[in-house]
């Protein structure tokens, strides 16, 4: 972080510029005030949901332009539900800091985040992050490189990736942090020619630290179940078991791990029902 600080804004509006040296770059691209970050005219939408839109934008002079990702939240309908809550942009910025500093996990650099309220009601929020060079989400990488699990399960690059992800999840959970939406699309693989291959964790506006034992157990199953949702069709049964053993730091299947597997399968059976989608 380079000189993080809160920019003076009208009452009810908060804008935190994490990297102060980005101020002139943002201003040159038309990002001078809070409204510039949440307006809907930005192009190149790359993801979203009912309340969220993520856009890829280019910032920087000439050939030095880089990709940045601007995620904006708009809270509609019964806004009473959003009273007193910390906005998701601030939560995600905090979680990225925790993942990096407490867990030693790679995450995108946060450039700025902010929110706007009317009284106690949360109206909208945003977070701006720097892109990761040569990135591919884990699900897309497997679909492109290893469309068939059975014929490529011995690929050393594939094995390295699975072991790396298992280590990331183990460090996260060991530090008491739970992502809550740890799907393959939220794991980003960087294959930049100037650096070694790395795995980044993305999109954590709902996760965080959990201190109580039962709360941690719930978070653990949420994360493992989310990962299994894609793993069951991308990995062989042997790879799935090997991944769980790496994650748990075990050499063989224990009674505790058998219970974990049983709980994950139960969780997926409930969540995969049509009425739960």
Give the model confidence (pLDDT) of 239-252 as tens digits: 999 999 999 999 99
Task: Give the pLDDT band of residue 1 (cuts 50, 70, 90).
Answer: very low
Contact partners, residue 65, CB within 8 Å, separation at least 6 = 58, 59
**77-106 pLDDT, tens per residue?**
655 555 556 788 999 999 999 999 999 999
Q: Which residue has the tokens 């509006």?
A: 13
**What is the percent of the chain where pLDDT is above 90?**
63
* Cα-Cα end-to-end distance for the chain: 39
Name which of 170, 171, 204 is nearest 187 in CA terms: 204
Evaluate if residue 2 carries a pLDDT over 50: no
**30-72 pLDDT, tens per residue?**
998 999 998 866 667 877 776 788 999 989 887 778 999 999 9
Segment 248-266 mean pLDDT? 97
Q: What gap in Å lies between CA 156 and CA 162, rounded to an integer?
A: 10
What pLDDT score does 5 carry?
67
What pLDDT score does 201 carry?
97
Q: What gap in Å lies between CA 76 and CA 49, rounded to an integer?
A: 13
Any idea what DSSP says for residue 62?
Answer: G
- The C-alpha angle with vertex 105 and arms to 251 and 25, in degrees rounded to 5, equals 160
**What is the percent of the chain where pLDDT is above 70?**
86
Torsion angles phi and psi, residue 102, rounded to 5: -90, -35
Q: Name 190's bridge partners.
A: 135, 198
Q: Output the CA torsion sign for 158, 268, 203, 176.
A: negative
Give this prediction's pTM.
Answer: 0.89
Segment 125-152 mean pLDDT? 88
* Contact predicate 134/193, CB 8 Å: yes
User: Residue 135 in 3-state DSSP?
Assistant: strand
**Averaged pLDDT score across all residues of the chain:** 88
């Amino acid at each position: 972080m380079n000189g993080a600080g809160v920019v003076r804004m009208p009452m009810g509006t908060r804008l935190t510029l994490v990297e102060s040296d980005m101020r002139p770059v943002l201003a040159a691209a038309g990002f001078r005030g809070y409204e510039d970050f949440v307006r809907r005219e930005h192009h190149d939408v790359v993801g979203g949901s009912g309340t969220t839109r993520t856009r890829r934008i280019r910032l920087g002079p000439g050939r030095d332009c880089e990709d940045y990702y601007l995620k904006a939240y708009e809270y509609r309908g019964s806004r009473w539900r959003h009273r007193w809550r910390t906005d998701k942009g601030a939560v995600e910025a905090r979680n990225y800091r925790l993942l990096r500093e407490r867990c030693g996990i790679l995450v995108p650099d946060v450039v700025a985040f902010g929110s706007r309220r009317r009284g106690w009601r949360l109206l909208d929020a945003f977070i701006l992050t720097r892109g990761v060079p040569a990135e591919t989400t884990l699900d897309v990488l497997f679909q492109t490189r290893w469309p068939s699990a059975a014929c490529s399960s011995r690929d050393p690059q594939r094995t390295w990736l699975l072991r790396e992800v298992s280590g990331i999840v183990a460090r996260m959970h060991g530090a008491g942090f739970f992502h809550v939406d740890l799907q393959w699309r939220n794991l980003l693989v960087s294959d930049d020619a100037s650096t070694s291959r790395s795995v980044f964790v993305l999109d954590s506006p709902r996760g965080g630290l959990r201190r109580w034992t039962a709360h941690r157990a719930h978070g653990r199953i949420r994360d493992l179940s989310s990962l299994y949702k894609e793993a069951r069709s991308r990995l062989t049964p042997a790879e799935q078991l090997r991944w769980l053993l790496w994650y748990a730091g075990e050499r063989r299947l224990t009674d505790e791990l058998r219970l974990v597997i049983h709980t994950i399968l139960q969780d997926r059976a409930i969540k995969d029902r049509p009425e739960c989608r």
